Amino acid sequence: MNPSKKGWLKEFLHYRKNLFVRSKEFEKTKKGQHPDQSFYGMIQPTGIMYGYPVHVYDLELDYGWKKLDTVKVLLADSFINIAELYASAPVDTADAFYRLMYETMDSVNHFYNAVYPEISTSFTNWLGQKKDVLLITEKILDKRLDIIFKKSSNFWTDFFNHSQLFLDIYIFGQWSHTNPDRVLLEFFKDEKEELSYTAVKVMAAAAHANKHVESEEEKLFEHFIENSGLPAEKRRVANEYFGHGLAIQDISVAESDPWVIRKYFLELAILTVWSDKMVEEIEWEFLNNFNRSLGFSGEDFDSSMIAVEGFVLQNWHQLDSLQLKKDHQAISEDYVGRIARITEKYINRIKLEMSDDHELIEILRKGKVSELSKDEKEILRHKFIGILKAIPSFRVIALPKDFLSYEILLRVIPKSVIAEMAGG
């Protein structure tokens, strides 16, 4: 499959069909307590909500695609996953899954034509004959990503523009299970504009948190104003916000707003503050206050910090712009410490999970008296990661499996529990 060539989407849908059983297992691992959490569990690991779209779950190999082609496949894949999440009936067979994917692409075409008229594409040729649905989708995705990538110029503009694709997926998730009339169509258009506007307000507030705005942060806001398509009054207000700063109460996000949107804005603020090398005390205060204003707990905040840091650690080699701003060792130590503090709160849960695993206990007891083999350490590594996923804070976020080595996990799992299990 070559996403640069015509017909790639049909190949991708057949590829996904052949992976139907494995995809169902993946869906189970991302199951949250409610649909918003499941949505987050599917989208967060891809990086698309952070402005760093890097990972397509089912593509384990590096095919050497250009960045734009990878994002194109990721976007199509995300639309499929979300459509399946919101499907009115369970999808039980590979053939039914293919039909859902095909219908989803048709829905994507109507969605973009209605909500993003600037990239609308005709469904018929000049003779009035219907065009191929999947070829239309390819054309629309090309147009959408052309807008995103042609505006690329620096870290901040990439960050903002690429994160807008998350809003595409979120609004499509709402669109996909409605029958939008003219009134609903205007609602979705307004929602797209308002969420985008709120996103940049969050980023501006986070950039102002230390009372000092970097030149790159200023360029971000200038770029947004130039390309936002906002009405003149909103542009004027936006310029005032950036010129004088804005308080948390000026950010129009309420506790009653959807969980996944509040989570998105929180993690957008975290990444904005966090990407500027050192996080100052006043910035921590801003993030904690913003977290509380969204109706989240301290544990929710820790979970979001772990989500952001874990994503960066898992994909470090692909995040060139962040490598210039952050130190890998410092991130690693912060991340390990943060996870260890949470696992200490769940000692009983961890103990219960471990006590039911006889193979794990047997290997731990062996490790008490002799050196474990490489294979045995790898078995423990996978089992420890599985135990972490049983903790609510880690259930729907992506843990950086490549980073979480056996040695690091020994620092994360409470030593008292390991000693108890190994002691028999």
Tell me the pLDDT tens digit for each residue of 200-244.
788 778 877 776 666 655 665 665 556 555 667 766 776 666 666
Has residue 168 got a pLDDT over 80?
yes
> Once rounded to an integer, what is the mean pLDDT over residues 58-64?
57
> Once rounded to an integer, what is the mean pLDDT over residues 297-312?
83
Has residue 179 got a pLDDT over 90?
no
Angle, alpha carbons 382-385-389 (nearest 5°): 135
The two structure tokens encoding residue 211: 């009372």
| Residues 198 and 164: beta-carbon distance below 8 Å | no
The two structure tokens encoding residue 28: 């189970």
Find the farthest-apart pair of alpha carbons in the chain and give their distance in angstroms, rounded. Answer: 79
| Residues 78 and 43: beta-carbon distance below 8 Å | yes
DSSP collapsed to 3 states, the chain: CCCCCCCHHHHHHHHHHHCHHHHHHHHHHCCCCCHHHHHHHHHHHHCHHHCCCCCCCCCCCCCCCCHHHHHHHHHHHHHHHHHHHCCCCCCCCHHHHHHHHHHHHHHHHHHHHHHCHHHCCCCECCCCCECCHHHHHHHHHHHHHHHHHHCCCCHHHHHHHHHHHHHHHHHHHHHCCCCCCHHHHHHHHHHHHHHHHHHHHHHHHHHCCCCCCCHHHHHHHHHHHHHCCCCHHHHHHHHHHHHHCCCHHHCCCCCCCCHHHHHHHHHHHHHHHHCCCCCCHHHHHHHHHHHHHCCCCHHHHHHHHHHHHHHHHHCHHHCHHHHCCCCHHHHHHHHHHHHHHHHHHCHHHHHHHHHCCHHHHHHHHHHHHCCCCHHHHHHHHHHHHHHHCCCHHHCCCCCCCCCCCHHHHHHHCCHHHHHHHHHC
Would you state the pLDDT for residue 67? 78
Worst-scoring range by mean pLDDT, 197-201, 297-301, 322-326? 322-326
| Residues 270 and 305: beta-carbon distance below 8 Å | yes
98 pLDDT tier (thresholds 50, 70, 90): very high
> Once rounded to an integer, what is the mean pLDDT over residues 51-62?
57
> Once rounded to an integer, what is the mean pLDDT over residues 380-395?
86
108 pLDDT tier (thresholds 50, 70, 90): very high
Would you state the pLDDT for residue 328? 65
Buried b (16+ CB within 10 A) or exposed e, 315-330: bbeebeebeeebeeee
Worst-scoring range by mean pLDDT, 187-201, 227-241, 348-362? 227-241
Q: pTM of the full predicted structure?
A: 0.78
Q: Is 281 exposed, middle or buried (0-12, 13-18, 19+ CB in 10 A)?
A: exposed
Would you state the pLDDT for residue 22? 66
Would you state the pLDDT for residue 309? 79
Worst-scoring range by mean pLDDT, 34-38, 136-140, 413-417? 34-38
Would you state the pLDDT for residue 305? 85
| Residues 77 and 186: beta-carbon distance below 8 Å | no
The two structure tokens encoding residue 183: 């009134």
250 pLDDT tier (thresholds 50, 70, 90): confident
